[in-house]
Chains A and B, each alone.
Chain A
Amino acid sequence: MSAPTPSPPIASVTRQLSRRSVFEALLHRSPISRADLAKVTSLSKQTMSEVIDAFEQQGLVRPVGRTSGNVGRTAVLYELSPDGGHVLGIDLGARRLTVALADIAGRVLAEVDEATDSRGGAWALDQIARLSDRLARDNHTHPSRIRSIVMATPGVVNPKSGAIEMAPNITGLDHLNVVGLLGEKLGTPVVLENDINLAVLGEIWHGCAQNVDNVAFLALGSGVGLGLYVNGRLVRGENGAAGEIGYLPIGGDPLQAESRLQGCLEYQIGATGVVRRYREAGGSDIDSERQVFERAQAGDPIASDVVDETARLTALAAAAVIATVDPQLLVLGGSVGARPDFADKVARVLLQLSARPVEIRTSTLGRRAGVVGALSVALRRLHDEFFGVAELATALPLPPPAHPSARQ
């Protein structure tokens, strides 16, 4: 069975629309018979047969059984074939690297994550290639079947150089053509998108923000960032730097050199800021912000104060977001932000601060939000490649995601 190829551009719009609506019905209603497909899409049985035959030849659909229980002849049921095309989602974080493989129907086939190579740069790119190969091999997928790859990264992708800028927590990415090099290593063009933007899309597809049109996702972990999704679209800003809220003039002196370099807010509430403030307040030596939170829970008064102040500053940042963009839902995510005890503290401060309180939820995808978002974009791009109709600006709606069948 060969991998499907996109329809030739000469295909008529009508034919493209028929193929698209059949695919959409399969995406959302599998398993389904030809007769029911015809009913759902309002296409003639003749057209339906032609489309299904073509899909079968392309390896896009496969029969999965027959209808039962009805009087008369039983009908063949179809579903999208797992061999119809695969997508890869990658989340390159400062600490963890996650790679997930899904099929064209959005079923996550496998997912792996490991500590990011601390040497960064080319080593991190090699690590991505190694994990991708392993996933493909373990799932008996030829790499050429991976048709669409999206990677979540911190910082901002420079569209001219393909480098990742403003990502101080991973070294060596700001002078590498990450887009080009990774595309070569993986054999398929790679689309890069800011990790928090993808986390928002992940929560919308699969997490706590389903069916919400205006979402602000505030992530607090090693760094701090904001993803904004308004009226059905991500807000990227003029140079892709929207949501860089580490630079908000909150929590310290914005005229200090550290503020200008690292960002005034991030210098205080990013992981290194939390650790630094704990030490400065007389706390004993520790190496991660997680320990500060653990100690606060265990009753360490210095740690408690640091956590409270971190929550207060996070709430101030959230108040700035609410005053400016008026979201319908505020999602708190990231390794610190998604902690329920921390989110409660933030919500309590926010209630005192904001004249117009907004609903707050914690991320339900947690560390997976970025990779799930990357998969959702990779899927949309694949669907668009196969079934995009220039006259239709809207993307095919994604099916509700299945749970990973083989998480590792």
Chain B
Amino acid sequence: MTRETAYCFAADLGGTKLAAAIADAHGQIVAELTEPTDPRGAAHVAEQIAACAHKLAQTAGIDITRARHVMVGIPGAIDPRTGRVSLIPNIAGLEDFDVLGFLRDRFGTDVAIENDVNLAMLGEHALGCANHCRNAAFLSLGTGAGLGLLIDDKLFRGARGSAGEIADLPIGRDPTSQIPSASGTFELEVGSLAIVDRYQRQGGTAATTVRDIFRLLEQGDEVAASVLDTTAHWVALAVVTLQSLLDLELIVFGGSIGVRPELYERVRRALPALFSRPITIAPSRLGDRAGLIGAAWAAGQALRQNRDHSRDSRQASGP
């Protein structure tokens, strides 16, 4: 075993669970854990992230001060100019809490925060199914809908850090119009609440979660099948939208709903009737670890860049 001198710490913060890992300078995870997100909100969650780092350091037998870079994925948009985070409905108080400052203080080292779906995109690009792609997207479907974008081999964040905030794509039923897809919004059609609601409205009674609906589908429930057909139709329209705008090589399906073959196979079947050129979609290879693996990989990369940079500047200012 080689002796590593520097490590990094990565975390993927979600509304219900927090995943964390210690990784080496190449972004290879050496220890990881998952626990439920502290429901009390921002400050407690930030404490929880720091506590995870200590637990992991102990497990791996590594001094936590050797973690020289910290990367945390959060379920929101980060404005690259101001560092402000926004669009985080799932974690109370996080929009007004200085996560970055808190973690810098705790770790005493470089800390970066990044949108969680962006990190999942990086994970799939580094080690998953988007490995050789230059132009790809990670479409996350679960409680809500999110998108990570890789354009010309680089993560694409947009002018205000909110590229890929596709919850309000104009895809869905317009209650005032007879025309399909007139001006509903995407998340109102495909978010988990919308799916359950659709199931109940169509006369299904036995489901209160999307997981229930998938279980019922397996048992041959026709309402469940019809609900998933409708959901897949709206998702397919979002895929067509992304393909028209960005001409991608691959769209990776992730998130608790997105990775289900019962959904993405329906989407795949719906695409040829909607778009004349082929569109390639694939389920996430890294599954629910995509964000954490991407965070570890990005942290490792930042660590190596900083190291090279400080080596260069030492040489430049040498005797």
- B316 an interface residue at 8 Å Cβ cutoff? no
Cβ contacts B31-52/A at 8 Å (1 or 0 each): 0000000000000000000000
- Name the B residues within 8 Å of A213 (CB-CB): 159
- B1 an interface residue at 8 Å Cβ cutoff? no
Q: Check if B180 sits within 8 Å of A253, measured CB to CB.
A: yes
- B274 an interface residue at 8 Å Cβ cutoff? yes
* Of A323, A324, A356, the contact of B246 (CB 8 Å cutoff): A324
Closest CB of chain B to A352's CB: distance in Å?
Answer: 9
- A402 an interface residue at 8 Å Cβ cutoff? no
Q: Check if B170 sits within 8 Å of A260, measured CB to CB.
A: no
- Name the B residues within 8 Å of A316 (CB-CB): 170, 182-183
- A127 an interface residue at 8 Å Cβ cutoff? no
Closest CB of chain B to A268's CB: distance in Å?
Answer: 9
Cβ contacts B241-256/A at 8 Å (1 or 0 each): 1111111110000000
Closest CB of chain B to A104's CB: distance in Å?
Answer: 29
- Name the B residues within 8 Å of A230 (CB-CB): 151, 156, 158
The B contact surface, by secondary structure, is loop
- Name the A residues within 8 Å of B242 (CB-CB): 324
Q: Check if A323 sits within 8 Å of B165, measured CB to CB.
A: yes
- B307 an interface residue at 8 Å Cβ cutoff? no
Q: Looking across the interface, which residue of chain B has its beta carbon closest to that of A156?
A: B247
Q: Check if A325 sits within 8 Å of B181, measured CB to CB.
A: no
Interface residues of A in 352-388 (CB under 8 A from B): 353-356
Interface residues on B, range: 35 or more
- A319 an interface residue at 8 Å Cβ cutoff? yes
- Name the A residues within 8 Å of B158 (CB-CB): 214, 230, 325-327
Q: Check if A326 sits within 8 Å of B135, measured CB to CB.
A: no
Complex Cα spacing A187 to B213, Å? 66
Cβ contacts A223-253/B at 8 Å (1 or 0 each): 0001010110101111111111111111111
Cβ contacts B269-284/A at 8 Å (1 or 0 each): 0000111110000000
* Of A235, A237, A247, A325, the contact of B275 (CB 8 Å cutoff): A247
Complex Cα spacing A138 to B113, Å? 60
Q: Check if A235 sits within 8 Å of B161, measured CB to CB.
A: no
- A169 an interface residue at 8 Å Cβ cutoff? no
Closest CB of chain B to A346's CB: distance in Å?
Answer: 13
Q: A323 with B247: in contact, given A250-B181, A356-B162 (CB under 8 Å)?
A: no
- B296 an interface residue at 8 Å Cβ cutoff? no
- Name the B residues within 8 Å of A254 (CB-CB): 180-181, 237, 240, 274
Q: Check if B246 sits within 8 Å of A235, measured CB to CB.
A: yes
Complex Cα spacing A231 to B161, Å? 12
- A320 an interface residue at 8 Å Cβ cutoff? yes
- Name the B residues within 8 Å of A248 (CB-CB): 240-241, 244-245
- Name the A residues within 8 Å of B206 (CB-CB): none
* Of B160, B241, B249, the contact of A324 (CB 8 Å cutoff): B241
Q: Looking across the interface, which residue of chain A has its beta carbon closest to that of B246?
A: A242
- B291 an interface residue at 8 Å Cβ cutoff? no
Q: Check if A247 sits within 8 Å of B273, measured CB to CB.
A: no
- Which of B149, B168, B247, B248 counts the most chain A CB atoms within 10 A? B247
Q: Check if B247 sits within 8 Å of A233, measured CB to CB.
A: no
* Of A239, A245, A328, A356, the contact of B245 (CB 8 Å cutoff): A245
Closest CB of chain B to A142's CB: distance in Å?
Answer: 39
- Name the B residues within 8 Å of A249 (CB-CB): 171, 181, 237, 240-241, 274
Q: Check if A241 sits within 8 Å of B165, measured CB to CB.
A: no
Complex Cα spacing A252 to B274, Å? 12
Complex Cα spacing A283 to B242, Å? 35
Q: Check if B179 sits within 8 Å of A251, measured CB to CB.
A: yes
* Of A233, A241, A250, A324, the contact of B277 (CB 8 Å cutoff): A241
Q: Check if A238 sits within 8 Å of B164, measured CB to CB.
A: no
Q: Looking across the interface, which residue of chain B has its beta carbon closest to that of A326?
A: B158
Closest CB of chain A to B8's CB: distance in Å?
Answer: 26
- B11 an interface residue at 8 Å Cβ cutoff? no
Q: Looking across the interface, which residue of chain A has its beta carbon closest to that of B158?
A: A326
- Which of A242, A255, A260, A326 counts the most chain B CB atoms within 10 A? A326
- B126 an interface residue at 8 Å Cβ cutoff? no
Q: Check if B160 sits within 8 Å of A261, measured CB to CB.
A: no
* Of B183, B245, B273, the contact of A325 (CB 8 Å cutoff): B245
Complex Cα spacing A257 to B234, Å? 19
Complex Cα spacing A312 to B177, Å? 13
Q: Check if B244 sits within 8 Å of A245, measured CB to CB.
A: yes
Closest CB of chain A to B1's CB: distance in Å?
Answer: 40
Closest CB of chain B to A285's CB: distance in Å?
Answer: 25
- Name the A residues within 8 Å of B274 (CB-CB): 249, 254-255, 260
Q: Check if A233 sits within 8 Å of B152, measured CB to CB.
A: yes
Q: Looking across the interface, which residue of chain A has its beta carbon closest to that of B133?
A: A238
Across the A-B interface, the 8 shortest Cβ-Cβ residue pairs:
A237-B247, A326-B158, A328-B159, A214-B159, A326-B163, A242-B247, A241-B247, A247-B244
27 pairs, A vs B, C-beta closer than 8 Å: A213-B159, A228-B245, A228-B246, A230-B158, A233-B152, A242-B245, A243-B247, A244-B244, A247-B243, A247-B244, A247-B275, A248-B240, A248-B245, A253-B180, A260-B273, A261-B276, A316-B183, A321-B245, A323-B165, A323-B166, A324-B149, A324-B241, A324-B242, A324-B245, A325-B149, A326-B159, A328-B159
